Structure 1
Amino acid sequence: MVQLTWRNGLDESEAAEVTALLSEAADADGVAPAGEHVLLRLQAHRGVVEQIEPVQADVGGSEHFVVRGTDGALVGYAHLDTAGETSGDALVAELAVHPQHRRRGIGATLIEALLERAELPADPDARSRDTEDEPAGAASARLLIWSHGQHPGALRLAERFGFARSRELWRMGRELAGAELPQESLADGVSIRAFRVGQDEAAVVRVNHRAFRWHPEQGDMTERDLRDKQQQDWFDPAGFLLAVDDSDELLGFHWTKIHPDGTGEVYVVGVDPAARGSGLGRSLTAAGLRHLQEAGCRQVMLYVEGDNGPAISVYERLGFQRWDSDVQFGR
């Protein structure tokens, strides 16, 4: 028998339990069950202006579904991103079940709770009067749930509860050790330099917004988000490469990341729309790959939208191949 409870915030001890569960699931499956933004929210808290005693993982736009066994041990968890709810956007969930407690209905319990929160019936064949004529797809979905790495258990749950594929995110990678990398080819007056902490945040956020206005997550990055990431162990300004003109105006950037296992990542490549068509994105990518290679990374990976054919073609020409993919299911 398990017990599910809802939280709008977790204390430090419970946040640590959730982080440990996510880590154990990642070790068992070879892929993290939740994205980086979930881990960042588990570490965050509201400021003292917003509440008397800041509680970890109590941040706006996050809700937590916690499942415990009869002995009180944490056996399942779901994070629900509600940031877009007030503007009519779908709720977005990510969940994990402890590897030692799978195939016992815990995943289904979490899905049912998320469906109830989204005011959707657990029975996929049940259609309310308000939704029976709506077309299927991400645009009309009330609830979106990620399956990172397309875990078989997640695929079974998606089918059982009538979720449809709405988005696919590819993970592509290539070898770096001993590889010959392409050279940068920059236009006259353009140079690449490292990010300057405390000076470049506003410019990066401005270009990021212009470059990713269409993107459901990346385009909303704020200066606070950027500064929060600067506090992470992996952050290295030397690997945050900025392309600037001769007036030091930011044209684009390549933010690289090195994972604990030594794998490099093309974390974000953003080019101001006004600078597109000049080959700047490819040159920034090449510069970042060279940085990661010189830092000792033997492999490098990146994420790209599965329907972004032009970007996939660019990465394939740079030697990347598809490794696996994450799927977002909607209802």
Structure 2
Amino acid sequence: MPQAVATGVPDEPTRAAIRRLADDIEQSDGAPPLSDQALSHLGSADVAHLVASDDGRLIGYAQRDGATLELATEPTAVDLVLDAATSTGTLAWTHGRRSRLVSAFEARGYVEIRQLHQLRRPLDATHPLPADPPLADDIVVRAFEPGRDEQEWLAVNAAAFAHHPEQGDMTLTDLRARMAESWFDADGFLLAERGDELLGFHWTKVHADGNGEVYVLGVAPGAQGLGLGNGLLVRGLHHLERRGCPTVLLYVDGDNTGAIRLYEKAGFASYDTDVQWQLS
């Protein structure tokens, strides 16, 4: 009989099964059901884990970080996992408009409180990139150096995303977990400096399907107005172009109108939407 139980940190075979389930859901629903944050925490004791199984076969997984919940479930296990994992005040994500969880959340009285838009831009001869925008002569753009740049990057990231619910709270443990992922490439993690001061950064990512991502683009509050947002964006896009990425994607909050304008000017257009829901 199917059952869902809270568990400790999943062992490696269980983590592998969760990743396979997430891959299957992505193929069916058109978007990964778990964020990079959730995937990086599969082996973490700092979040709560729940596993649903049927005769020893994994059919669902839920991860709770404080009030925030992310789920990956087979269609038949959605209600089972939600019954076991949710309570009043729960915040939960659906990834993509085709997510199998949308109708389940609506039926249970969840309300939409936040939208995270996915934008995309092709990288091909019919959509050429502009030349790198000029920066001040004393600003240098270089690649991230593991073992040297972590703490300063964390400080600037926290300041740049002080009001962002997830990105601004990234810890050294979170950063190291991302750096341990197979996709991490320090050469695609661009830092803009003036002397020893970090002013901004563009962290790019290449997905397994070959598409690139503007993973995180941030500018220190004191460095606003120097043209770093567009300057770093274009330089990162050129890096992804050199990597052979046919398309670049990114995620941006629906209320971040300044960032949306920046990306639209760079040729990005709406592609899909993630939604955060709350159970009241």
Give the TM-score normalised by structure 1.
Answer: 0.80
> Which residues in structure 2 correspond to 1:23-42 (within 5 Å)?
23-42=23-42
Q: Kindly indicate whether residue 127 of structure 2 is the aligned counterpart of residue 151 of structure 1.
A: no
Counterpart amino acid of residue 13 in structure 1: P
Give the equivalent residue in structure 2 for 1:73: 57
Mapped contact 1:8–1:58 kept (Cα < 8 A)? no
Counterpart amino acid of residue 203 in structure 1: E
Q: CA deviation at 1:67?
A: 1.5
Give the equivalent residue in structure 1 for 2:6: 6
Once residues 257 and 327 of structure 1 are traced to their aligned partners in structure 2, the CA distance between those partners, rounded to angstroms, is 22
Give the equivalent residue in structure 2 for 1:111: 82
Once residues 174 and 102 of structure 2 are traced to their aligned partners in structure 1, the CA distance between those partners, rounded to angstroms, is 32
Once residues 224 and 66 of structure 1 are traced to their aligned partners in structure 2, the CA distance between those partners, rounded to angstroms, is 24
Q: Secondary structure at the match of 2:18?
A: helix
Q: CA deviation at 1:271?
A: 0.4
Once residues 147 and 211 of structure 1 are traced to their aligned partners in structure 2, the CA distance between those partners, rounded to angstroms, is 26
Once residues 155 and 259 of structure 1 are traced to their aligned partners in structure 2, the CA distance between those partners, rounded to angstroms, is 25
Structure with larger RCO (C-alpha < 8 A, sep 6+): 2
Once residues 109 and 228 of structure 1 are traced to their aligned partners in structure 2, the CA distance between those partners, rounded to angstroms, is 30
Aligned length: 277
- Stretches of structure 1 lacking an aligned partner (at least 5 in a row): 43-56, 83-90, 121-141
> Which residues in structure 2 correspond to 1:1-331 (within 5 Å)?
1-42=1-42, 57-60=43-46, 62-69=47-54, 71-82=55-66, 91-98=67-74, 102=75, 104=76, 106-115=77-86, 118=87, 120=88, 142-151=89-98, 153-178=100-125, 179-182=127-130, 183-245=132-194, 247-331=195-279
Q: Secondary structure at the match of 1:153?
A: coil
State which drifts further: 298-307 or 225-234.
225-234
Q: CA deviation at 1:313?
A: 0.9
Off by >6 Å, runs of 4+ in structure 1: none
Counterpart amino acid of residue 108 in structure 1: D
Query: CA 1:40–1:58 in structure 2 vs 1: closer, same or farther (change >3 Å)?
Result: closer
Once the two structures are superposed, residues 165-187 of structure 1 have per-residue CA deviations (whole angstroms, 9 ceiling, x without a partner) of 01110000111122321232202
Q: CA deviation at 1:25?
A: 1.2
Q: CA deviation at 1:58?
A: 4.5
Once the two structures are superposed, residues 40-78 of structure 1 have per-residue CA deviations (whole angstroms, 9 ceiling, x without a partner) of 111xxxxxxxxxxxxxx2411x11222112x22111221
Please state which structure has a larger fraction of its residues in strand. Answer: 2
Counterpart amino acid of residue 233 in structure 1: S
Q: Who wins on radius of gyration, i.e. which is larger? A: 1
Once residues 116 and 23 of structure 2 are traced to their aligned partners in structure 1, the CA distance between those partners, rounded to angstroms, is 21
The share of aligned pairs that are identical, in percent, is 43
Give the equivalent residue in structure 2 for 1:132: none
Query: CA 1:72–1:224 in structure 2 vs 1: closer, same or farther (change >3 Å)?
Result: closer
State which drifts further: 5-14 or 307-316.
5-14
- Stretches of structure 2 lacking an aligned partner (at least 5 in a row): none
Give the TM-score normalised by structure 2.
Answer: 0.94
Query: CA 1:193–1:155 in structure 2 vs 1: closer, same or farther (change >3 Å)?
Result: same
Once residues 205 and 83 of structure 2 are traced to their aligned partners in structure 1, the CA distance between those partners, rounded to angstroms, is 36
Counterpart amino acid of residue 231 in structure 2: S
Q: CA deviation at 1:152?
A: 5.2
Aligned-residue Cα RMSD (Å) equals 1.4
Counterpart amino acid of residue 274 in structure 1: G
